[in-house]
């Protein structure tokens, strides 16, 4: 099979109008940033490259920023040339970073997902969501509304995984494609991500069980009951601590990811962020035939109220997610 570059894929899958050209350029800019992040990560731990150290600032998550969080954020911002982006929203930025007054797009990014894994030699990633700019006035309070569109308005979303491979899962609204970085270029994989309707793996941080709401507790107990339980099948468990790594596995093998609401302080609506983690992943999941919910509402239907708003995130094989929702 002839290998297809990402640039060629975008030429085929994105309308060559002004917004489409901006979208293509933005995705290619993000690819350039991903190469810088991947290279830095490959050399993490050498005396002059300590990317897991805390650098003092506190991000919107209330987490202290690590060196790679800041490096990734800066690499992404610096990559935006000819991208026509009006504003950049990031886990590492308190508010909107205004870029181009005539920009056609806004972009919401988790520059480095899985920071707790930076020094563990485990997969981490970058998650992005691209929306059309609707505001007419190039002022923060107007541009902010562009980032607060429901996830179903996304033009494109994707995530890079920095692991054994540097890879990308991407949707521009007509299915999902996967790419691997090979000799400096993203090349399309043979594999077309499509999530099986039912799986036999669940991904959740079991150490939080005592804090979960009743639906989450009942759902996981049903999985643990295996063939004798209500789902009549045995389950395996995986938890990577990096959303992008768990998501990639679910695109490959099916199953369900759960970060539900719990009773810890600041976790009453879970841990993950709506506009730059849940929405981009939910767009990909729905495009791949899966389902993404907060337990009551489809993620893509939620009207965001704040740029760092958290949301319970349950996604994966649609039958498994329906089983979860039936408990609410
Ligand atoms: P960090 O980027 O702070 O490590 O958080 C990663 C993450 O947002 C997501 O990638 C993981 O699935 C989830 O948090 C892990 O959360 P726990 O550390 O509570 O298990």
Catalytic annotation on 141?
A: no
- Which residue in the list 277, 286, 294, 320 is annotated as catalytic? 277
Q: How far apart are CA 120 and CA 123, in angstroms?
A: 9
Q: What is the tens place of the pLDDT at every residue in 122-160?
A: 999 999 999 999 999 999 999 999 999 999 999 999 999
Contact of 151 with 278, CB cutoff 8 Å:
yes
* Whether the predicted pLDDT of 265 surpasses 70: yes
- Residue 84's nearest CA partner among 173, 139, 23 is 23
User: What is the pLDDT, as a whole number, of residue 180?
Assistant: 98
pLDDT in tens, 227-239: 999 999 999 999 9
How far, in Å, from the CA of 135 to the mean position of ligand 1?
32
pLDDT band at 258 (very low <50, low <70, confident <90, very high): very high
Atom in ligand 1 nearest the alpha carbon of residue 240: 12
Which residues lie with the beta carbon below 6 Å from any ligand 1 atom? 63, 113-116, 205, 241-243, 271-272
What secondary structure does DSSP assign to 6-36, as a single string?
Answer: HHHHHHHHS--SHHHHHHHHHHHHHHHHHHH
Distance CA 108, CA 306 (A): 12
Give the full edge-to-edge strand order of the sheet including 236-237. Answer: 236-237, 201-203, 256-259, 313-316, 291-293
Domain range 6-188, its CATH number among 3.40.718.10, 2.40.10.120, 3.30.540.10, 1.10.287.70: 3.30.540.10
209 and 27 Cβ atoms separated by less than 8 Å: no
Q: Is 229 helix (H, G, I), strand (E, B) or coil?
A: coil
Q: Which of these, 259, 273, 245, lies nearest to 206 by C-alpha position?
A: 259
The overall average pLDDT reported for the chain is 96
The question of whether 61 is a catalytic residue gets the answer no
Nearest Cα neighbor of 170 from 247, 116, 79 is: 247
Is 274 a known active-site residue?
A: no
* Topology match between the domains 6-188 and 201-326: no
pLDDT at 61 over 70: no
Mean pLDDT over residues 3-22, rounded? Answer: 96
For residue 112, what is the enclosing H or E element? strand 105-113
Single out the catalytic residue among 61, 113, 261, 294: 113
What's the pLDDT score for residue 120?
Answer: 97
Q: Please name the residue that has the structure tokens 């562009």.
A: 146
Cα angle 321, 327, 328 (rounded to 5 degrees) comes to 100
Distance between CA atoms of residues 37 and 32, nearest Å = 9
**pLDDT tens-place string over residues 157-209:** 999 999 999 999 999 999 999 999 999 999 999 999 999 999 999 999 999 99
pLDDT at 1: 65
Q: Mean per-residue pLDDT for 4-32?
A: 97
What are the boundaries of each domain within the chain? 6-188, 201-326
Domain 201-326 has CATH 3.40.50.12160: no
Which residue's alpha carbon is nearest to atom 13 within ligand 1?
A: 241
Work out the average pLDDT over 251-259: 98
User: How many Cα atoms occupy the beta-carbon half-sphere of 124 within 13 Å?
Assistant: 25
> Residue 153 in 3-state DSSP?
helix
From 92, 246, 261, 320, active-site residue: 92
Given a cut of 80, whether residue 59 has pLDDT beyond it is no
Q: What is the pLDDT of residues 271-311, one digit of tens each?
A: 999 999 999 999 999 999 999 999 999 999 999 999 999 99
Terminal Cα distance for the chain, rounded: 47
Read off the pLDDT band of 255 (50, 70, 90).
very high
Look at residues 134, 154, 145, 113 and name the one whose alpha carbon lies nearest to residue 273.
113
Tokens of 50: 């300590």
């Amino acid at each position: 099979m002839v290998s297809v570059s990402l640039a060629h894929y975008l030429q085929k899958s994105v309308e060559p109008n002004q917004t489409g050209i901006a979208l293509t350029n933005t995705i290619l800019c993000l690819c350039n940033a991903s190469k810088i992040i991947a290279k830095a990560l490959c050399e993490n731990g050498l005396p002059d490259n300590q990317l897991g150290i805390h650098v003092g600032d506190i991000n919107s998550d209330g987490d202290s920023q690590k060196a790679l969080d800041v490096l990734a954020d800066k690499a992404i911002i610096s990559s935006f040339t000819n991208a026509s982006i009006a504003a950049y929203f990031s886990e590492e930025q308190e508010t909107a970073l205004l870029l181009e007054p005539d920009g056609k797009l806004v972009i919401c990014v988790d520059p480095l997902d899985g920071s707790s894994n930076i020094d563990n030699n485990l997969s981490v990633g970058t998650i992005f969501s691209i929306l059309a700019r609707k505001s007419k006035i190039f002022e923060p309070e107007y541009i902010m509304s562009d980032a607060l569109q429901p996830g179903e308005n996304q033009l494109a979303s994707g995530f890079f995984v920095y692991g054994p491979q540097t890879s990308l899962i991407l949707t521009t609204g007509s299915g999902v494609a996967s790419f691997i970085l090979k000799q400096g270029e993203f090349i399309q994989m043979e594999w077309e991500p499509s999530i099986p309707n039912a799986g036999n793996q669940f991904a959740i941080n079991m150490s939080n069980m005592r804090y979960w709401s009743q639906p989450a507790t009942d759902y996981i107990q049903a999985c643990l009951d295996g063939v004798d339980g209500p789902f009549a099948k045995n389950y395996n468990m995986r938890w990577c601590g990096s959303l992008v790594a768990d998501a990639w596995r679910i695109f490959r093998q099916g199953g369900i990811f759960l970060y539900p609401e719990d009773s810890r302080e600041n976790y009453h609506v879970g841990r993950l962020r709506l506009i730059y983690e849940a929405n981009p992943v939910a767009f990909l999941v729905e495009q791949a035939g899966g389902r993404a919910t907060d337990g009551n509402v489809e993620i893509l239907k939620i009207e965001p109220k704040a740029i760092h708003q958290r949301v319970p995130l349950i996604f994966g094989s649609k039958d498994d997610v329906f089983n979860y929702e039936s408990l609410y």
